[in-house]
Amino acid sequence: MLRDAVRSLAEAKIAPHAAAVDEDARFPQEALDALLANDLHAVHVPEEYGGAGADALATVIVIEEVARVCASSSLIPAVNKLGSLPVILSGSEALKKKYMTRLAKGDGMFSYCLSEPDAGSDAAGMKTKAVRDGDHYVLSGVKRWITNAGESEYYTVMAVTDPAKRSKGISAFVVEKSDEGVSFGAPEKKLGIKGSPTREVYLDNVRIPADRMIGEEGTGFATAMRTLDHTRITIAAQALGIAQGALDYAKGYVKERKQFGKPIADFQGIQFMLADMAMKIEAARQLTYAAAAKSERGDADLTFQGAAAKCFASDVAMEVTTDAVQLLGGYGYTRDYPVERMMRDAKITQIYEGTNQVQRIVMARNLP
């Protein structure tokens, strides 16, 4: 029922704008409006804070179905979870009540600020600082590759509170867009997900109350890594949706396109490509849904399973979208058809929330 409801909404309210959102590289406001109106913008927020209280699997299905028609739009529910999960996992009750209630109501989106110009895969090498000053902390630094930066009202920011302790000297904070000293760089000009703004976040002596720290001082990096164990599965869901959208479109196309007097779907070479695409998507779906169940239960092997789902599903998405372009031939290479957009959008799923090379390191270190 959830899948049917989200698919109907996505096809009616989000899909018609997907090409224009990509072409104009503009934020998909229509998608945000539709998701807000149907309480699908942040379904993971617990009911006690006014949220829908969706479990990890339901959240995955929402993201998958939105990504099937528009990858950029799927980053609204996905990044709302990424940005706010540190608060849910480690925040004080007061912090949860304040920010989760606002997120559930739709008062603002949440973004996640971990990466920096010189701290990508080596996130513990970050330089953004947070210095205690009485009842406040003063944050200074630059965060890079921040999804929905400038659009979001709330930012989970990782910053160094004790430089001598490396990863154990990093703390997490909630920063608001309206805090004095917060500003944003120009939107990055990207290959794909053009409707989701990616910008630098500048923190110029941003003074925030000490009670906006998420968890204890020095626990920020551990919270960041725990968060990714859960949210990598949402990237797997996004990749899965993109792949499914590409297969669905290609499947319809090959039945209509005729060569040598018959639909190209009748040729075995085409049938084998479609069979492989569908098989790999189904394998990715099973892995992703199983990982979501483990996320919900907090299973001991979640780190491995989350990395495996993200890595496998994103590799499948890149392969399937590339094959979809091939199946459409010359038309697939043009912007008149959606599969080239899907191919461009799929690429980022192999890169963000940890490159697939990093996922393989994570899996190797956590072999079940």
* Contact assessment for residue 127 and residue 141, using Cβ atoms and an 8 Å cutoff: yes
The closest of 197, 203, 194, 148 to 175, measured between CA atoms, is: 203
Name the one residue in this structure whose structure tokens are 């990237």: 235
Low-confidence ranges of the chain (pLDDT < 70): none
Q: Cite the residue boundaries of each domain of the chain with CATH code 1.10.540.10.
A: 2-105
Which one of 151, 200, 340, 353 is the catalytic residue? 353
d(CA 206, CA 116): 17
CATH of 2-105, one of 1.10.10.10, 1.10.540.10, 3.30.1490.20, 2.60.120.10: 1.10.540.10
- Residue 145: its pLDDT value, please? 98
Q: Which DSSP helix (H) or strand (E) runs through 127?
A: none
Q: What is the pLDDT of residues 1-20, one digit of tens each?
A: 999 999 999 999 999 999 99
Q: Cite the residue boundaries of each domain of the chain with CATH code 2.40.110.10.
A: 110-218
93 is catalytic: no
- Residue 225: its pLDDT value, please? 97
DSSP calls for 133-168: ETTEEEEEEEEEEEETTTT-SEEEEEEES-GGGGGG
CATH of 222-365, one of 3.40.640.10, 1.20.140.10, 3.30.360.10, 1.10.10.10: 1.20.140.10
Report pTM: 0.98
- Residue 142: its pLDDT value, please? 98
- Which sign, positive or negative, has the C-alpha torsion 60, 64, 65, 69? positive
The closest of 33, 29, 174, 24 to 97, measured between CA atoms, is: 174
Q: Cite the residue boundaries of each domain of the chain with CATH code 1.20.140.10.
A: 222-365
52 three-state secondary structure: coil
CATH topology of domain 110-218: Butyryl-CoA Dehydrogenase, subunit A; domain 2 (2.40.110)
d(CA 235, CA 245): 15
- Residue 368: its pLDDT value, please? 83
Q: What is the pLDDT of residues 84-124, one digit of tens each?
A: 999 999 999 999 999 999 999 999 999 999 999 999 999 99
What torsion do the CA atoms of 233, 237, 242, 245 make, to the nearest 10 degrees? 160
E strands in the chain = 110-113, 129-133, 136-147, 154-160, 170-176, 182-184, 198-209, 213-214, 258-259, 262-263
φ, ψ at 54 (rounded to 5°): -70, 145
Q: What is the pLDDT of residues 196-230, one digit of tens each?
A: 999 999 999 999 999 999 999 999 999 999 999 99
> Which residue type sits at 121?
S
